[in-house]
Amino acid sequence: MTAAACFRSIHDCASAGRENDVVVVDMDGTLLRGRSSFPYSALVAFEAGGALRLLFLLLLSPLAGFLYYFISESARIRVLIFAAFAGLRISQT
């Protein structure tokens, strides 16, 4: 069963009285065309920490690639998330 079959369309949902509700959306492939998680991490790293954080992410990308091919995709994503978010203050996120 696909995700589209599990949930109602956004057009069928009323927005009145939902100021405190949270919406979870799978937007993989909509913001950026590629399926890789690296561009998303690079965008977050640059927006949150500037060029130095992006450079840190670029330096860790060979390790992330190694982990992806020899360990697991989850390990790669954890390294990319660490590089994008480590050391940020809560107010910056």
Please tell me the predicted confidence (pLDDT) of residue 5.
61
Q: Which residue ranges make up each domain of the chain?
A: 36-93
Please tell me the predicted confidence (pLDDT) of residue 80.
87
- What's the count of helices (H) and strands (E) in the chain, helices before strands? 4, 0
Instruction: Return the sign of the alpha-carbon dihedral for residues 92, 47, 83, 76.
Output: positive
The mean pLDDT values, 10 residues at a time, for the chain of 93 residues are 63 80 69 72 85 88 88 88 82 59
How far apart are alpha carbons 36 and 84 in whole angstroms? 15
Q: Is the pTM of this model over 0.85?
A: no
Please tell me the predicted confidence (pLDDT) of residue 26.
66
Please tell me the predicted confidence (pLDDT) of residue 6.
72
Please tell me the predicted confidence (pLDDT) of residue 39.
82
Please tell me the predicted confidence (pLDDT) of residue 38.
80
| Chain length of the chain | 93
